[in-house]
């Protein structure tokens, strides 16, 4: 069984194969209408369950379109429509779904839900996001970087802001793909020590630098994410704004990074907060390439899972 649960638990050779496959198949589709099927219908006759305990735009649309382009069908389920971990155990849900579908993608809150679902499912499970990680997004980011700048190995990535689940997956990727990562943000929002330590043990240079202008010196890529969670109270939002305001990615910060540095944001963005519109719409920004590449890399991930 080949699950795609996290970047740090997937073999580096398989990760590279997924990126290369995504790029090749993206190039093969160039100029085609979005609804036209692929030449290789890898999911023909397959049913894929897309489970969303958290709302989504990019994850839902990209997985749904990707399955259809590969000849499969989707069943989209929300947390309100299921008894996941409430009226029914997660293990029993996994066993039941395995009788109906060929592949499961889940976007959920607790990592434990993902892991238990994978443990008891008889079909591959893909991590569409948890509170601790977001591997599909970072695989799309690596594809995007390499399209613009070549191999990411040995490059310097700077994360500015909150050491959240997306930052965690960048740390996972640093250890697996061989690039260095500098985190700049307030100490109370540092990424988890376990993720930093693992990346360092795998040979990545991981640096914590409180001064964002020092952090971006020599950067090949500057990345940020939203400062707020949809579940934050008004007072919590105000505290986070005060903590993170010095780490906004603006024109001055990108100038310090240099003209060759790319800018990424996984979206959705609060323009004028974590990043300015001038940066997001500027010549160094590749945010919409990132968004498109979710489609291509997730198709490659699904092919990889089912190839087992």
**SS3 (DSSP) at 150:** coil
Are 188 and 164 in contact by the 8 Å Cβ rule? The answer is: no
Identified catalytic residue from 25, 46, 58, 107:
107
Helices (H), the chain: 12-28, 58-69, 90-100, 111-120, 135-149, 165-177, 193-201, 212-215, 234-244, 251-257, 277-280, 287-306
The rounded distance, in Å, linking the Cα atoms of 282 and 306 is 39
Identified catalytic residue from 137, 248, 284, 298:
137
Q: Which 3-state string (H, E, C) describes 127-141? A: EEECCCCCHHHHHHH
Tokens encoding 145? 């970087």
Identified catalytic residue from 162, 172, 225, 296:
225
Identified catalytic residue from 3, 25, 265, 294:
294
Identified catalytic residue from 3, 266, 296, 305:
266
Respond yes or no: is residue 149 known to be catalytic.
Answer: no
Respond yes or no: is residue 294 known to be catalytic.
Answer: yes
Identified catalytic residue from 132, 134, 240, 296:
134
Tracing tokens 């970087």 back to the chain, one arrives at 145
Respond yes or no: is residue 266 known to be catalytic.
Answer: yes
Classify burial at 208, counting beta carbons within 10 Å of its beta carbon; exposed 0-12, middle 13-18, buried 19 or more: middle
Respond yes or no: is residue 107 known to be catalytic.
Answer: yes
User: Is the omega angle on the peptide bond into residue 259 within 30 degrees of 0, that is, cis?
Assistant: no
Catalytic residue annotation: 107, 134, 137, 225, 266, 294
């Amino acid at each position: 069984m080949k699950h795609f649960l996290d970047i740090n638990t997937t073999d580096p050779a398989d990760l590279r194969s997924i990126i290369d496959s995504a790029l090749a198949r993206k190039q093969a589709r160039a100029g085609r209408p979005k609804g036209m099927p692929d030449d290789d219908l890898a999911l023909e006759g397959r049913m894929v369950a897309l489970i969303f305990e958290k709302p989504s735009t990019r994850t839902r649309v990209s997985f749904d379109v990707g399955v259809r382009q590969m000849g499969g069908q989707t069943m989209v389920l929300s947390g309100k429509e299921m008894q996941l971990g409430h009226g029914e155990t997660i293990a029993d849900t996994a066993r039941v779904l395995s009788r109906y579908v060929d592949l499961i993608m889940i976007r959920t809150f607790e990592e434990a839900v993902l892991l238990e679902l994978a443990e008891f499912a008889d079909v591959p499970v893909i991590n569409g996001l948890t509170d601790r990680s977001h591997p599909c997004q970072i695989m799309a980011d690596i594809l995007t970087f390499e399209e613009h700048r070549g191999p990411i190995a040995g490059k310097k990535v700077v994360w500015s802001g909150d050491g959240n689940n997306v930052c965690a997956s960048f740390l996972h990727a640093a250890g697996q793909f061989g690039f260095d990562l500098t985190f700049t943000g307030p100490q109370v929002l540092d990424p988890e020590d376990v993720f930093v330590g693992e990346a360092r043990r795998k040979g990545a240079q991981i640096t914590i630098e409180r001064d964002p202008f020092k952090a971006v010196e020599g950067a090949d890529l500057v990345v940020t994410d939203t400062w707020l969670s949809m579940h934050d109270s008004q007072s919590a939002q105000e505290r986070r704004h005060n903590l993170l305001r010095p780490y906004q990615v603006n024109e001055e910060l990108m100038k310090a990074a240099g003209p060759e540095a790319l800018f990424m944001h996984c979206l959705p963005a609060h323009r004028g907060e974590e990043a300015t519109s001038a940066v997001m719409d500027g010549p160094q920004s590749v945010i919409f390439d990132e968004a498109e590449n979710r489609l291509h890399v997730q198709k490659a991930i699904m092919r990889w899972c089912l190839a087992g």
